[in-house]
Amino acid sequence: MSRLAALHGVATSYSPSPDRTVAVPVTAVTSALAALGVDAGTPEAVRAALAARERERAERLLPPTVVGWGTGVPPALAALPEGTRLLVRTEQGETRPSAGNLPHGVHRVTATAPDGRTGEAHLIVAPTGLPAPPARCYGLLVQLYSLLSRRSWGMGDLADLGELAGWAARTQGAGFVQINPLHAAVPGPPTDPSPYRPSSRRFPDPVHLRIEDVPEFAYLSERAGEGAGEGEDAAGAGGRARLEGPLRRAAELREAVLDKGALIDRDAVWAAKKAALEAVVDEVPLGPGRLAAYRDFLAEQGQALEDHATWCALAEVHGPAWHTWPAPLRDPRSPGTARARRDLAARVDFHSRLAWLTDTQLTAVQRAAREAGMPLGIVHDLAVGVHPAGSDAWAQQDTLAAGMSVGAPPDAFNARGQDWGLPPWRPDRLAACGYAPFRALLRALFRYAGALRIDHVMGLFRLWWVPRGQPPTEGTYVRYDAEAMLAVLVLEASRAGAAVIGEDLGTVEPGVREALRERGVHGTSVLWFERDWEGDGRPLPPETWRADCLATVTTHDLPPTASRLTGEHVGLRDGLGLLTRPLAEEHAEAAADTAEWLDLLTRLGLLHARGTPGATAETEEEERVQAVHRYLLRTPARMIGVWLPDGVGDRRPQNLPGTWDQYPNWRLPIADAQGRPVALEDLTASPRLRALLDVVRTRTRTGRPDGGEGTDGVDGAGGTDGAGRMDGTGTGSAGGAHAPART
């Protein structure tokens, strides 16, 4: 069994720490193998499957996918028997007799060995790595739905994002804005509010549209609700009248959140926007130029968009859980689905149009951010997987592992492990198709991203598979071809001129961070977790942090900084029954942790001594929040991230792992220290936010041209030279950082 599992990349044990190895249940191994199409249910089946696998590997000349870096001959091709003839058909349409000096791309290679064996494979040729950002910069981190303006429809939208990016770049010198995944959600009600359990990762959610920015909207919105004017038919007036309800509802939702303390209601927002969009699409035809652009988008997106729009249309009729649809409709390629697609052609076109409109606004936001001076612009987020009931799971059944879910094994922070409810890709099917789904996904996201954050980037190497119906403790790791996954990532990012940030918090197996660094993928370092875990456990000196990372104080899964510094996060968890130890013990540990950091900040001269005459509790809190960001600036990190709610003293985490309906995860607007929602217009005028950004702006901008001391003002600490460039002296994080769990 162990040999068979190893040949298919299925682990029979894992090491949660360097000095400990844990065997996984046999049932987990057999279930994972079954999901890969391998019968290991009996000793006889194991022997037969092992013999077949070893025979297949011995007889094949090439694996399904071969990887090459740079201009050299890929190792798998260089190792072929002497005299083997090659024929390479490049992505660019050339035919070549050798595999050296190939252009970057995904090609096809055919090999013929002297003994008559032949083999054909996908050949991925990627740059050796992504270049580092040209200069150190800082940016804002925000959950877009939480960023409401006085013009939004009850949740933050793409116009709000554009306004924030333009303001941050032009007045605050920010280099990027990082947001949550904007993937299409599984529709409700109730919609799963988590942006990390999407229906589709390839297509964005139109709930983020600013309706007024849809060009056709103007033809209906003018004189909305008035009767037909001279020379105007009743249909035109009726179309405008259809906007009255959505516009009124939008104002109600906005007022409820910003002025009355209501939670963000994604379903209500989408109902209003959908009604408005239906009126626009029904009543206003596209002009010739717009129609040509839409048709180009349809042609470019092809089958993937048709599948997604078809799923959306079918979900309106049969509900979003495609497993419960009539049997013929569960197969996206069945004749029954083809008939349904024709019958629902108008709705399929509607959802295709929404995908185009959202893509257009996303592209415009990124373009505007760059034009405002941001070197990166918008940093988008790629979730680790998709909802099992959603569009991608329906359309990509052939590449997903049936009956399995992605999660995490038990560790010191979650003894029960985690099950995220996301079906994983089958590594064998990915290899067989040259990683086409992964390539298409990345290419779609890089259309409008200056950089991409990859959630749980360790998933490029291995994922914890949990059999359906079993607890997370009954899972096992399944390995992916990390070389191929990284090659696709580097290839697509380089084509887009984009950076990549990997969320590598938590338990990371040896070699992963090194492999990511070699290919130019930045990591993620969170202040509270940067300790010498293999030594004395004390905070890492700032100069020993790695340079190739996005350094932050907190994340959307952690308490905001003010809450952490005051210990309020412990009381919140206690009130929800999440503590595993007595409250007094948890409070004491949190207080000791905070005191250690405050003492360190004081010794480094980054925090004025506590108890300064005339200081109030509010000003002391602001100073401490600024001090932890000054600490980040002493590290060599090339990117510094500021959690936007920290700028106004927000206490509430956007997501509280371990909760579902006990806490309003993913539904909170940005608020001040008293819990009062803060509109975008007030946020950008906040003296507290501006003071915090002054700290990071003046220490990440370019220094004097004469090469003297930079504006860091800390005697060169922070790893930059006089021009604000990184000197690359960071030694990397010692030990593993500990990641928050997902809900």
Give pLDDT, residue 415.
74
Give pLDDT, residue 719.
33
Please give the DSSP secondary-structure letter assigned to residue 677.
B
What percent of the chain is predicted at pLDDT more than 70? 91
Give pLDDT, residue 643.
98
pLDDT above 60 (res 235): no
Give pLDDT, residue 713.
33
Q: Nearest CA to 65 among 120, 105, 6?
A: 120
Give pLDDT, residue 423.
97
Give pLDDT, residue 710.
34
CA distance 640 to 552: 6
The region of weakest confidence among 131-140, 423-432, 708-717 is 708-717
The region of weakest confidence among 221-225, 271-275, 276-280, 582-586 is 221-225
Query: What is the residue-wise DSSP string for 283-351?
Result: H-PPPHHHHHHHHHHHHHHHHHHHHHHHHHHHHHHH-S-GGGS-GGGGSTTSHHHHHHHHHTHHHHHHH
The region of weakest confidence among 118-127, 440-449, 516-525, 694-703 is 694-703
Give pLDDT, residue 738.
37
Considering only residues 725 and 710, tell me which one the structure prediction assigns the higher pLDDT.
710
Residue 740 banded pLDDT, cuts 50, 70, 90: very low
Considering only residues 236 and 20, tell me which one the structure prediction assigns the higher pLDDT.
20
Give pLDDT, residue 610.
62
Residue 17 banded pLDDT, cuts 50, 70, 90: confident
pLDDT above 50 (res 133): yes
Question: In what helix (H) or strand (E) does residue 629 lie, and over which residues does it extend?
Answer: helix 617-634
The region of weakest confidence among 317-331, 408-422, 667-681 is 408-422
Q: Where are the alpha helices (DSSP H) in 390-462?
A: 391-395, 427-432, 436-445
Give pLDDT, residue 69.
97
Provide the whole-model pTM: 0.92
Over residues 714-729, the mean pLDDT reads 30
Over residues 459-487, the mean pLDDT reads 97
CA distance 203 to 169: 27
What confidence tens digit (pLDDT) does each residue in 609-646 have?
665 667 788 899 999 999 999 999 999 999 999 999 99
CA distance 170 to 181: 25
Signed CA dihedral, 255, 258, 263, 266: sign only: positive
CA distance 184 to 203: 6
Give pLDDT, residue 506.
82
Q: What is the mean pLDDT of the chain?
A: 91
Give pLDDT, residue 241.
86
Over residues 126-133, the mean pLDDT reads 92
Give pLDDT, residue 343.
98
What confidence tens digit (pLDDT) does each residue in 640-659 have?
999 999 999 999 999 998 88
Asked if omega into 189 is within 30° of 0 (cis), the reply is yes
What confidence tens digit (pLDDT) does each residue in 539-572 have?
999 999 999 999 999 999 999 999 999 999 999 9
Q: Nearest CA to 129 among 639, 455, 487, 637?
A: 487
Residue 231 banded pLDDT, cuts 50, 70, 90: very low
CA distance 609 to 117: 76
